[in-house]
Amino acid sequence: MNIGGGVVFGAPRATSLRFCHRIPTLRSFSSPCASPSSFTEHVSFIRDVAAAEPPKHLSHLLRLLKTRGEAIISPEAKQGLIPLVVPLAKNSSDNVISLLRWPTAPPGMEMPVVEVHKHGVWLLAKTVDQFIHRILVEEDAKKSREGNNNIFHAAADAGASLYTRGDFAKSQISDLDAYLLRKVGLFPDVLERKVIHHLEKGDYVSALVTGEFYTKKEHFPGFARPFVFNAEVLLKVGRKLEAKDAARGALKSPWWTLGCRYQEVAQIAEWDDEQIEYIKERVTEESRQEDLNKGKDPTQIALDEAAFLLDLASLEGTWDDYLERIAACYKEAGLPDIARFVESRD
C-alpha cells in the first residue's frame, strides 16, 4: 500500500548482473536548433493546464533536446502515458522525456525530468537546470567540436549560467560519473553504475554503502526506485532477508516509481497477489464507506483512492482506462486543476 496516498507525501548495465531495469543512456545527436517561440505551447500548457510554474529554462532544455535529435512533441500527447506527466520529446529509444507534475510535490522536489515507460517513470534529473547542466558536462567530456558547439549554442545563456566549457578537463577528475556526482548532482543511473562497478570488482562493502546512500529519503523523495535497486544489491550479495524487507519497503511508495514492473519487486518481497488484491479492495465503494464511518478525512480518502488507482494502472500500463476515476478523485479532494490536467490530452 502507499504512504500518504502515494502522491501526497509525508514521506550501461553489466551483463553479468541482473537488475530489473535498464539504466537509460543519455545520447547526444546533432541537428539544427529550434527557435524559442516554437516552445511556447509547453510553457502555456504547464501554466494554464498543469497549474504549475514553468521551469525558468524549459525553452533552453527543449532546444537542447531538439539539437540532440530528439523529436519535440505536444504537451498534450499523453495517450497511453501516466497522466501526471507533461511530454517534452521522444528519444531514440521511443521513450518520452517529460516533466512530472506531482499533485502535491514532495519537499524540495520541483517538476523533475523523467523518462516515461509503460509501467511508470524513471527519474532523469530533479530539475530542468540539473538536466541541462548534465547534458553540457557530458557533451564537453566528448571533446567533439561540431556537436559540442551545437549543444552549447542551444543552451545559450542558460548554459553559461550553469556550466563553463572546459571545467570538466580543468577539474582533473578523470571519471565522468564522479564529476557528475560531485559537481552537478545525484542521478539514479549514475549511482547505480557506481554500485555495479563496486560489485564487479568484488567490493561488496562499498556497493552496500553506496546502495544505502542511494536510499536516503532526502535524495529522491517520492521515488521507490532507490529502494528497489538496494533490494537487488542485497539479494546479489546473499542478504535475502534484508532484500525482502527492502523490496517490501519499496512497494509502500507509488508503484509507478519502481523503475520496473511491480511483479519483479513483489518476487523479491515474496508477495504473491495479496498486495494487488488489497489495493483493489481499497478502491471499492464499501471500503470508502468504511473509512468514512471510521471518521477518516474525506479529502484524504479521495487522495488515497487516486494513488491506489495509479498503482493499479501501472501494473499493465493501462493508464487511459483509469483516467476518469482518477480525475474524479482529485475533484473530490478539492484539486480541480489537477483533475483537469489528468484528463487533458490530444
Give domain status of residue 84, yes or no. Answer: yes
Contact 107, 127 (CB under 8 A): no
Tell me which of 184, 217, 234 is where a domain ends: 184
Residues 48 and 76 in one domain: yes
CATH number of the structural domain spanning residue 219: 1.25.40
Give the mean model confidence (pLDDT) for residues 61-68. Answer: 94
Residues 152 and 232 in one domain: no
The answer, yes or no, to whether residue 331 has pLDDT greater than 70, is yes
Residues 178 and 41 in one domain: yes
The answer, yes or no, to whether residue 2 has pLDDT greater than 50, is no
Give the mean model confidence (pLDDT) for residues 33-37. Answer: 42
**206: domain range?**
186-271
Give the mean model confidence (pLDDT) for residues 285-313. Answer: 95
Residues 49 and 161 in one domain: yes
For 117, phi then psi, to 5°, come to -120, 175
What ranges in the chain are assigned the alpha helix state H?
40-48, 58-67, 128-142, 145-162, 167-171, 176-179, 188-200, 204-214, 225-236, 240-250, 262-269, 274-282, 285-293, 298-316, 323-332, 336-343
Residues 73 and 196 in one domain: no
Give domain status of residue 205, yes or no. Answer: yes
Give domain status of residue 31, yes or no. Answer: no
C-alpha–C-alpha distance, residues 42 and 38, integer Å: 9
Residues 93 and 139 in one domain: yes
Q: What is the maximum alpha-carbon separation in the chain?
A: 67
Give domain status of residue 18, yes or no. Answer: no
Give domain status of residue 3, yes or no. Answer: no
CA distances from 189 to 268, 305, 307, 325, 343 (A): 21, 31, 26, 34, 31
Return the C-alpha cell found at 225.
526506485
Nearest CA to 89 out of 120, 113, 125 is that of: 113
Residues 124 and 222 in one domain: no
Give domain status of residue 180, yes or no. Answer: yes
Residues 162 and 82 in one domain: yes
Residues 156 and 65 in one domain: yes
Residues 58 and 157 in one domain: yes
In total, how many domains does the chain have? 3
For 189, how many CA atoms within 13 A lie in the half-sphere containing its CB?
19
Contact 191, 181 (CB under 8 A): yes
**What per-residue string of b and e applies to 5-21 under the rule 16 or more CB within 10 Å gives b?**
bbbbbeeeeeeeeebbb
Mean pLDDT of the chain: 88
141-200 pLDDT, tens digit each: 987 655 578 889 888 888 889 999 999 999 999 899 999 999 999 999 999 999 999 999
CA distances from 158 to 52, 129, 141, 152, 184 (A): 21, 8, 19, 10, 15
Tell me which of 253, 271, 289 is where a domain ends: 271
Amino acid type, 53: E
